[in-house]
Amino acid sequence: AQSVTQPDIHITVSEGASLELRCNYSYGATPYLFWYVQSPGQGLQLLLKYFSGDTLVQGIKGFEAEFKRSQSSFNLRKPSVHWSDAAEYFCAVAARGSARQLTFGSGTQLTVLP
Amino acid sequence: DVKVTQSSRYLVKRTGEKVFLECVQDMDHENMFWYRQDPGLGLRLIYFSYDVKMKEKGDIPEGYSVSREKKERFSLILESASTNQTSMYLCASSFNRGGADTQYFGPGTRLTVL
């Protein structure tokens, strides 16, 4: 079975600084990979996803993520963080084949300082 | 615009009560999911359905059941609520195109069992 690890429970950055959120997955082949964001009191919104092809994926709100097969990682990045980016971020993985189910990481809470 | 709605944002119930959580999607999606979200644990899959009247257990089905009588509606049932079922419950839906299509989430129901 697949699994996802988000090693950082909480990250604090200053507004305008760059951001990288880490995600490592465990799966025997190349999975489908997702990043979701959850603002306070809201459901989850998809930021970006990787299915195949170019390993650098662009998403909404200026986010990008890079799939690195050798490191089993799918880290999320943003060059300049805005105060509105404060939220909880979830990485998720789905196995190829019967790929309806997502396995989520435990989340990273992002705080943005003014 | 994509829409997944959940019947209540907040719900307070007593131990032993039967609880119904309703989810409706207007996107003609085949797949529907119920997750619970707890701090530090991320989202865990309770049940999912890939067709009307079909259901499959997720990772933590104990104490829950589901019903899907119509394509757009997926209900989560707590037969006899217990305090350890106090949590945020999130519903999601997706197309079934043979791969891991994007899941769209509702705003969540925060359930408190006293």
pLDDT over threshold 80, residue B98 = no
Paired sense of beta strands B19-25 and B4-6, if any: antiparallel
Q: Which residues of B touch A35 (CB under 8 A)?
A: none
Average pLDDT over every residue of A65-80: 96
Distant-in-sequence, close-in-space partners of A19: CB < 8 Å, separation ≥ 6:
A11, A13, A76, A77, A78, A81, A85, A110
- Assign B29 to helix, strand or coil: coil
**A vs B: CB pairs below 8 A:** 59
Task: Return the residue of A nearest to B89 by Cα.
Answer: A43
Instruction: Give the tens place of pLDDT for each residue, B62-88.
Output: 999 999 999 999 999 999 999 999 999
The one-letter amino acid code at B54 reads M
Q: Apex CA A103: angle with CA A101 and CA A106, to 5°?
A: 150
Position A87 scores a pLDDT of 97
Task: Return the residue of A nearest to B46 by Cα.
Answer: A101
Contact predicate A43/A62, CB 8 Å: no
Cβ contact (<8 Å) for A51 and B107? no
Task: Return the residue of A nearest to B106 by Cα.
Answer: A43
- Our CA-based measurement puts residue B104 at a distance from the nearest CA of chain A, in whole angstroms, of 7
pLDDT over threshold 60, residue A99 = no
Cβ neighbours of B38 (radius 10 Å): 12
* Interchain CB contact of B42 with A (< 8 Å): yes
d(CA B24, CA B32): 9
pLDDT > 90 fraction of chain B, expressed in percent and rounded: 79
Instruction: Give the tens place of pLDDT for each residue, A20-66.
Output: 999 999 987 778 899 999 998 888 999 999 988 889 999 999 999 99
Average pLDDT over every residue of B84-105: 86
- Mind giving me the DSSP string for A55-69? SEEE-GGG-EEEEEG
- Which among B41, B100, B106 is the nearest to A43, CB-wise? B106
